[in-house]
Amino acid sequence: DGGITQSPKYLFRKEGQNVTLSCEQNLNHDAMYWYRQDPGQGLRLIYYSQIVNDFQKGDIAEGYSVSREKKESFPLTVTSAQKNPTAFYLCASSIPDRTDTQYFGPGTRLTVL
């Protein structure tokens, strides 16, 4: 089955700790994205990558970092510099020139205690 997987589904961390969220896809998509979703806020773009070894900041990149060493993987690190990290994090992927192919993973709910 082709798709996007995110792990873990729920993640708890203490304040001040860095944490890395996993996103893997086997759709052979070149483009990958990270969004953050808060209640009543919709989805906001954190980072995106159109190709391996290249990525760009989205609207709310502060306190986050990413890497894109493999086509299939786009991990997101939430650093201690992120002021309010508790949120639902969604990864997506697409064919770069085909917006209608942007599909989402199941999400990771991060709670910082």
Partner 1 sequence: QKEVEQDPGPLSVPEGAIVSLNCTYSNSAFQYFMWYRQYSRKGPELLMYTYSSGNKEDGRFTAQVDKSSKYISLFIRDSQPSDSATYLCAMSPNSGYALNFGKGTSLLVTP
State yes or no: residue 73 binds partner 1 (CB under 8 A): no
45 to 13, 15, 28, 61: CA distances (angstroms): 22, 23, 21, 8
Least distance in angstroms from the C-beta of 2 to partner 1: 14
Nearest to partner 1 of 50, 77 (CB atom)? 50
Length of the chain: 113
Q: Which of 15, 40, 54, 113 binds partner 1 (CB under 8 A)?
A: 40
AA identity, residue 8: P
What is the distance of C-alpha 53 from the center of its chain? 16
Which stretches of the chain bind partner 1, using CB under 8 A? 4, 6, 31, 33, 35, 40-45, 48, 50, 58, 88, 90, 94-100, 102-107, 109
